[in-house]
Amino acid sequence: MAMIKASVLLSLLSLFAFDASSAECSPQQVQSNKMNNFILFDEQPSADTPKAMVLTIKSRDGFIHSSVSAIFSRCGELIKAEFAKEKNYQTGSRVLTATYSAEINKKEYGWKTNLKFDNAMTDTDSKKRTELFSQQVEGVILLGKNGVISKSGERFEATTGNLNQIGVANTSYRFDAIGRLLSTDRRSNLRSDNAKTIYEYDASGRLLQKRSASVLDIYSYDQSGREFSLTSTATYFTIEKTVTTCHEWNELGKCILAHQRITITTPNAKSGVSSVQKHDAIIKTSITYWE
């Protein structure tokens, strides 16, 4: 389910000289760009070519606020994307705030990425804020000879309390004979940062499942073949299950309004009784297309 206002995005487009008409985009180029957008956004390939996308997620109780904006060339190649997300976890009189921001910019070799993660704890009584974790990440995403992403690399610096860590990670991508992404394999000098993700598809080539050691995403579709729901379960020190259900689609079958139900379960080894928090959020997506 894909991605500040439309007028801002359109003004950004004027910064780039993409005068080629869609007729000048080769079928291979268009197909490669669709696959790259699938890798970068989980945006499943379709017949249309996006021009700009904006997505927002917001809950009334303040638990989550997230935004994504992206602009594309006439051939569907990602030019620039920005991501921002904040989650606030209430634990008694304390609030854990997790923030994430990222930027992707097109380069001649592929894309350059910059990411930032921060975790902080705030005592609601004293208003004291304690920084728990921060991480800065710089990376590159490289294209293969066929114009499809072939590998990526990152360098990161992380701070936890007084402990500083520097790491590097590389990700490889594996495809099947018809060009579908089968898996990604991330290898880092920090063992805890290693991850492999497997992709599974149905007979129509639609994504059914994406899974790693800690995250399982399951996709479903309605009778018209439109994206209907995504159930995501992330298991770390908590179990966070998010069920996203689409309620409105645009004329091309893309979801533009969805409801998100979030359930966070925190196990308690001492009492054996888990605590459960529930949140509701609304996802709104605006997409414009090249004519």
Write the pLDDT tens digit of every residue in 142-190: 999 999 999 999 999 999 988 999 999 999 999 999 999 999 999 999 8
Q: What is the DSSP code string of 107-175?
A: ETTEEEEEEEEEEEEEETTT--EEEEEEEEEEEEEEE-TTSSEEEEEEEEEEEETTEEEEEEEEEEEEE
The per-residue pLDDT of the chain, averaged, comes to: 91
Per-residue pLDDT at 6: 35
Residue 48: name the closest of 201, 184, 250 by CA: 250
pLDDT band, very low/low/confident/very high, at 280 (cuts 50, 70, 90): very high
The tokens describing 204, both together, are 């129509």
Helices (H), the chain: 6-13, 27-41
Sequence ranges of the domains in the chain? 6-289
Per-residue pLDDT at 47: 80
CATH of domain 6-289: 2.40.160
Share of the chain above pLDDT 90, in %: 81
Rounded (5°) CA angle 183-213-131: 115
* Prediction pTM value: 0.87
pLDDT in tens, 7-48: 333 333 333 434 445 458 999 999 999 999 999 988 887 788
| Alpha carbon separation from 191 to 77, 194, 244, 281 (Å, rounded) | 34, 6, 32, 34
Residue 259: name the closest of 229, 234, 233 by CA: 229
Give the separation between CA 129 and CA 193, rounded to whole angstroms.
27
Per-residue pLDDT at 23: 57
* Strand 129-143, strand 149-160: pairing: antiparallel
Give the separation between CA 158 and CA 135, rounded to whole angstroms.
4
Q: Inform me whether the pLDDT recorded for 276 exceeds 90.
A: yes
More confident residue, 267 or 197: 197
Rounded (5°) CA angle 30-11-64: 85
| Alpha carbon separation from 230 to 166, 176, 246, 247, 278 (Å, rounded) | 34, 24, 9, 13, 17
Residue 290: name the closest of 104, 9, 21 by CA: 21
Q: Which residues contact 158 (CB under 8 A, 6 or more apart)?
A: 133, 134, 135, 136, 164, 165, 166, 167
Q: Inform me whether the pLDDT recorded for 194 exceeds 60.
A: yes
